[in-house]
Amino acid sequence: MSVNDLKLKLRNNVLRPTAMELFKLSPSMAASFRARKEMVSIRREADKFFAEGAPLPERATREDYYQAMEKHYVSISEYLHQYEFYKLSEPKREEFISRALMRSLAFKLKSMYPNDTNGLTRFKNEFLKHFTELGFVKRRWLFGPECTFEQLADLLSSTDCIIKPDDGSLGFGVKKVPRQTDPLKIRELYDRCVNKKLIIEEYVHNSPEIQVFHPSSLNTIRFVTFAFRGRARTFGAFLRMGVGDMVIDNAHAGGLFAQINIETGVIESDGITTEGLRVHRHPDTGIQIKGTPICRWDEIVEFCLSAARQTNNIISGWDVIVTDKGVIEFVEANNRPDFDVMQSPLKKGVKRKVLATLKDVIGKEITI
């Protein structure tokens, strides 16, 4: 099928193109189709919310939400909780970039610069291989389909481990496995890891300064960089913390997150959830969140910038830790980091900053 045929069928709504077909289109058309696809999901979620008859805060209305959704592509969670759109004037709303619009922008960048947006993969084993070779991942890890029973037994018998899906996201499927010496149980786990394509990693602990927030989870720093052909810029960062009996810290799995001042490395917001709950202190440990400095911040900044310079990926979200042994390393990285968690802690939109930073690193104006 020619590109012109593809465009014609898209305009007539008679085709659902694959991602590879979309990349043959103009960047703006590819981004527009992606935005429409995101809108379908957002509308479905909102329709379900309003059908359930949940009460709305004062000043929030169904009509206003759908207008904001059509214009700004905000989800019901962004409208009610994360940005509190119902409280904002239209000029203030324009300052925010929704999760859906950010994904559309990432799609546009991929169609414009395919060779500069392929440095990070959704497959964790590929990320771990590459960044272990570069020295950014130091812990021991195995990939089920590519390891032997003896290798897994050696790892499991020496330490607690984490298992996770190779292509998982948002913390789904991540589980902690205690140190194990029973051959039958190891064999059972080995078969599971092979058949389900699981990653098995050495369980590492946070440095004391970060572990104190929530000791049972690995609390990571999400550090976002913009980079293009060797030029790299810092964009923003936040600390993610588990709650309750969680062993993960993912914000979209129910964890807390708090904004870190990118210049000073000091946490500058209270803790917040994606449902809008705000806390001054961690609900499990009572540790005050805002005002806490992140240890070895300058080293963390340079660590992430160094990785960004060596990676063909324009917008990257690095999940970085300082371990109890003093090692700085990546847990994983995201080639489409969500920007709702970059804006909700301080209720401050970053759309202009996103576009300005893209222009700075690419040298070209990018529109949404």
Q: What is the mean pLDDT of residues 267-279?
A: 89
Rounded to an integer, the average pLDDT of 35-48 is: 88
DSSP state of 323: B
Same domain as 22, residue 152: no
- Whether 133 is covered by a domain: the verdict is no
User: Is 125 within the bounds of a domain?
Assistant: no
> Does 279 map to a domain?
yes
Tell which of 180, 202, 224 closes a domain: 202
pLDDT of residue 18: 58
273, 323: one domain: yes
127 within some domain: no
The bridge status of strand 315-322 relative to strand 221-228 is antiparallel
Q: Answer yes or no: do 107 and 180 share one domain.
A: no
User: Of the ranges 15-24, 29-38, 143-152, which one carries the lowest mean pLDDT score?
Assistant: 15-24
248-265 mean pLDDT:
84
Model confidence pLDDT, tens digit, residues 119-142: 787 789 999 999 999 999 999 999
pLDDT greater than 70 at residue 5:
no
CATH of the domain at 314: 3.30.470.20
Counting the structural domains of the chain, the total is 3
In terms of residue numbers, what domain contains 168?
Answer: 140-202
- Three-class secondary structure of residue 48 per DSSP: helix
For residues 355 and 213, state if they share a domain. yes
Mean pLDDT across 54-71: 94
According to DSSP, residue 308 is labeled: H
Q: Are residues 219 and 339 in the same domain?
A: yes
The verdict on 354 and 269 lying in the same domain is: yes
Q: Where residue 168 sits, what CATH number does that domain have?
A: 3.30.1490.20
Sheet order of strands, 221-228 included = 278-279, 271-272, 256-260, 231-241, 221-228, 315-322, 328-334
Do 246 and 321 lie in one domain? The reply is yes
Residue 63: exposure state from Cβ atoms within 10 A (0-12, 13-18, ≥19): exposed
Does residue 7 surpass a pLDDT of 70? Answer: no
198 lies in the same domain as 213 = no
Give the DSSP letter string of 119-149: SS-S-HHHHHHHHHHTTS--S-EEEGGGS-H
Q: How long, in residues, is the chain?
A: 368
Burial 30-55 (b: 16+ CB within 10 A, else e): bbbbbbeebeeebeeebeebeeeeee
Residues forming a β-bridge with 88:
none
The answer on 198 and 211 residing in a single domain is: no
Q: What is the mean pLDDT of residues 101-114?
A: 88
